[in-house]
Structure 1
């Protein structure tokens, strides 16, 4: 879709009828009832924040309850030997296969996103001794920028900033202009948290490698929403959260990816007992395990890992390609409604119009969007807000319908109209 007139074709003759027709042919529609709160909604007219916190699955409720009674309650500490010790790698392999394009033995689950990013970034810069620069962009998520600033001060490095367009994202050309013989590490997001811009991972990774640098990709807004091919793209390192499109629950532990060829060359900076070659040797000195285990630090957060397994299984069942197809259709429909209803009220699309350059969410900008967000929450329509003036519409393909999108966008139209015409 390349112009406003084209979007109107999606709405003829009646947008609600179009939404219902799209739901009628949606191959993923049978997955929607597997989530808590749908189709009845439990008081929520439209949930537009699946890119920040996904809905829980019904299966996960049963899984957690069963674990409390049978796993924790029944097996007690025996559970560590029987299953829990390997859970970070079992789930990591499943996630890698279903959504990351990663072969087994390269993905682990554990720690927060911030901690995983820190571990991988510190390990990367230390693996490039003599190089003095980290390349990052001005519009990356705050945590990424803050922790890299801390690592730079900690290790005596310089930050090289790419000025990113907040309505688009970082391009290969910008990266090529920023990297050089002093670049140790490039850290970027696959999908920009603000605009939804979808970065060209293969091209940017090749450019960084040509300069001799390592690359760390933040996959927080892409894992489970857009296809990722870490192995095929030659990615070195990646990290991402599991509470968005993977529905792991509030604060569920993040994942990290370390390419097999790098694992034994990197020294992770948070040396804990769970990352040693013999966890129960309790030896006098730290000896890192070989392979992906060395990137674990402390005791795995077992309870926090439970819920994500059911969504990972769904993605594996349907295929990430089908998820992406539905995601594009949902965002295209939302853009069409925005063009029809919101642009006449002074809103603008602050996301790429080309779906090939857009992830699973869109951002709509207007000076009144902070107030619009507050009004919508009162009406049980739940988007989120990001400065400057951005209303984010996050559409999780497995749990969101086109009719839900229609009703939510209609509520945005009404709230913005009321605020701008009072």
Structure 2
């Protein structure tokens, strides 16, 4: 028998869809057959319908007809050109500060290694236990390589690192602080300008991982005086599996920092094939090998869509979606023992909500059989990832109903 609360929540989802100013944009994305609710857009975004046509055009045109001549015509500059577009639309960054290329891990290594080298005599790195494994693992490698030590902050499970946490760990021996703008498990949204200012006051540099923020949360890297930032493009930027990541470097640091993976594409004169490496001017110096031109194509389409919509509108939809998840969880999942593991305050919450229950890992295969695709994070967290432009409130309701049914609530 359907309860009054169920009816109200279902009706509320429909009402929210009816007044959603971004609802029409859902048709821009490929609709997967048999999928009732896709709640993992924070791990891999849906492809744009236009991406297939763009790839076909590329094969026939720039690649098929232009062949190797396309390097001179456009491809050599594409990592910087698309980087500038990403900076303008999503990152709050001016021209000449962002480049596309390599994986997130490789770019994080480049940024971290360059930052540490720029602070000689300082032997400590600060990060947190809740940071994404890649971030922690590569810092362990950098520390072992250079004989540094790592200080691990321990944020609460439903929160994240604060300015006070960072200030308590800083000292004259800290070279680098590496944190995520949005925590990958809890969705806690960090105080980027506040933490950055605290790190600068201690004479250190900060690298921000924007993987769970870029494309869902408005960013202001230039205004916040960020040093370095890295992020992936296959989540809210819908670049597809393995799409290249991006790196931002403040203009004031570009001549000072020397990236560690010195390759021919980042050299001042790549086709001279010289004896010694000399870095190119500007952001090209962060390149190493041949840029992934094909992998950049879907990103360009999503940036055009985000530009037409505006990041403030995307953020408003994101906050409404996550608020609905929490409203539903409080009413229908909490009685079954489900715990909220994300911030309640929308101002410090990214675009996903984590719900904890000891049975969730076993329930995920059953949910997928029903066409509901969430994301599981150990030990017992179900991540409800909400890509604002491709997700409806009714879809979220249907997914959460399936979770409730699977729990027997």
Partner of 1:214: 205
Distance 2:284 2:341 in 1: 41
Q: CA RMSD in A?
A: 1.2
Distance 2:314 2:168 in 1: 34
What SS is found at the alignment partner of 2:288?
coil
Deviations 1:378-412 (A, max 9, x none): 11100010011000000100000011111011111
Aligned residue among 21, 25, 28 for 1:31: 25
Deviations 1:18-75 (A, max 9, x none): 11111111111111000000xxx52100000000000000111111111111121111
What SS is found at the alignment partner of 1:388?
coil
1:191 partnered with 2:185: no
Partner of 1:84: 75
Q: Give 1:166 shift.
A: 2.1
Deviations 1:117-163 (A, max 9, x none): 00000000000001111001011000000000000111111111111
Verify the 8 A CA contact 1:43 1:380 in the aligned structure 2: yes
What SS is found at the alignment partner of 1:75?
coil
Verify the 8 A CA contact 1:12 1:18 in the aligned structure 2: no
User: Which sections of structure 1, spanning at least 5 residues, go unmatched?
Assistant: 1-8
Distance 1:281 1:406 in 2: 59
What SS is found at the alignment partner of 2:363?
helix
Pairs within 5 Å for 1:50-61: 50-61=41-52
Partner of 2:367: 376
What SS is found at the alignment partner of 2:255?
helix
What SS is found at the alignment partner of 1:307?
helix
Q: Give 1:288 shift.
A: 0.4
Partner of 2:237: 246
TM-score (normalised: structure 1): 0.95
Pairs within 5 Å for 1:166-177: 166-177=157-168
What SS is found at the alignment partner of 1:43?
coil
1:121 partnered with 2:115: no
Q: Give 1:13 shift.
A: 6.0
Partner of 2:405: 414
Aligned residue among 236, 249, 252 for 1:258: 249
1:307 partnered with 2:301: no
Partner of 1:19: 13
Aligned residue among 30, 34, 40 for 1:49: 40
What SS is found at the alignment partner of 1:362?
strand
Distance 2:346 2:67 in 1: 49
Aligned residue among 197, 212, 220 for 1:229: 220
Q: Give 1:12 shift.
A: 8.8
1:363 partnered with 2:354: yes
Q: Give 1:346 shift.
A: 0.4
Distance 1:16 1:341 in 2: 12
TM-score (normalised: structure 2): 0.98
Pairs within 5 Å for 1:145-164: 145-164=136-155
Task: Answer with 392-401 or 370-379: which moved more.
Answer: 370-379
Q: Give 1:329 shift.
A: 0.3
Distance 1:139 1:416 in 2: 27
Partner of 1:136: 127
Q: Give 1:337 shift.
A: 0.8
User: Which sections of structure 2, spanning at least 5 residues, go unmatched?
Assistant: none
